[in-house]
Amino acid sequence: MQQINIDELKSHPRNNEFFDDITGSNWDQFIDSMRERIKKGKTGNVEPIVITQDKVIVSGHQRVRALKELGITQVNAEIKIYESEDEIIADLIETNIRQRGIGNPNAMKLSRCIKEIERIYGVRNGSSNEKGNNRIGEPKVSADQSNVANMFGLSVDTIQNYKKLSDLIPELQDWVETGILAPTTAIALIKYMSPSEQEEFVKSMDITHKITKREVQQYIDRIKQLETNNPKVKELENQISDLKAEKSILERKVKLNQEESDKYNKLKTEIEFLTKQKSDLGRQINSATELAGLTVRLQKLLEDELAPIKFKRCMETLDSSDVCVSNLEEIITKLDSWSYEMKKLLTNSYDDIVDE
């Protein structure tokens, strides 16, 4: 808690987006209450002002405004450290709603408060599947919205209606904020008029006076009557209905075609993979077969042709036939052993390939 020079304090730049200044008799009563406290030697604060570390007011805009009007230069302030702007906004809205007691009398700004609080806390509508918070069969209101309703002192249904005001086009939001258009009347407009129809409504209305619910209803009735009596509208509605039906059929066909396309691509990939395996295996078998044949021919060469040649050369170069025969037999034995081992190796490799 610190004593802060009141002139050093800055209003939060979004405060006026969510709350009006207290005016009229309510402001006079507020000033009188503060003045009485000062006479009794009190600071004039019901609660300390809450500010950020940068001396931006979070809670206490109206108290600071009143103290300045009464000539007070120092104010008790609690400096809070916030980690994000969302924390500041949530505190600003919640403390103002709680401390004012009367909530937010400006319906349009109340709508913004509700939407902003729900955004900050992640509150949403929907069912409790992957996209929502509710269970099937329950009302489409998340459990957290009841907490938001309690925060504002309103029912969930009322909260839902106030939120609809944010769906108005900007001109109608201004009318609600300035009191030209009552909130309940504005909600009726949202129900029956598209944004383009709201724009036509704005152009046709006299805003030199407050627009009544009766005027709005008469305007809506005229639109309905024109739509009912205009055959072109009915024709367009039929065309839209037919196109929507055709669109639905096409969407189902596209989905089925996509599934068939995915299946085709999968089969194509599998066939290509197996075909490549088959080709590789065929090449391996052919190579092994050729090598086996080569081994047989080599063995035949050793047995039928090489032995006699070696024997003849041995007889021509050596005097002792015993020595020649002995050398020749040794050579043939080694070659025959080598041929056998090679044939065995190739045959085993061939069997392995066939097994695979």
**pLDDT tens-digit map of 101-159:** 555 778 899 999 999 999 998 886 543 344 444 433 344 445 478 888 888 888 899 88
Query: Which residues contact residue 78 at a Cβ distance below 8 angstroms, ignoring those fewer than 6 apart?
Result: 1, 2, 48, 49, 50, 51
Structure tokens at 333: 């034995």
Beta bridge partners of 181: 211
Residues 124, 133 contacting (CB under 8 angstroms): yes
**pLDDT tens-digit map of 198-225:** 888 888 888 888 888 888 888 878 777 7
Q: Model pTM greater than 0.75?
A: no
State the CATH class of domain 1-102: alpha beta
- Give the residue extent of every domain in the chain: 1-102, 106-167, 233-355
Structure tokens at 317: 């170069």
Write the CA distances from 195 to 25, 199, 211, 270, integer angstroms: 38, 6, 19, 54
**pLDDT tens-digit map of 41-54:** 655 455 789 999 99
Query: Which residues contact residue 219 at a Cβ distance below 8 angstroms, ignoring those fewer than 6 apart?
Result: 201, 204, 205
The total number of residues shown for the chain amounts to 356
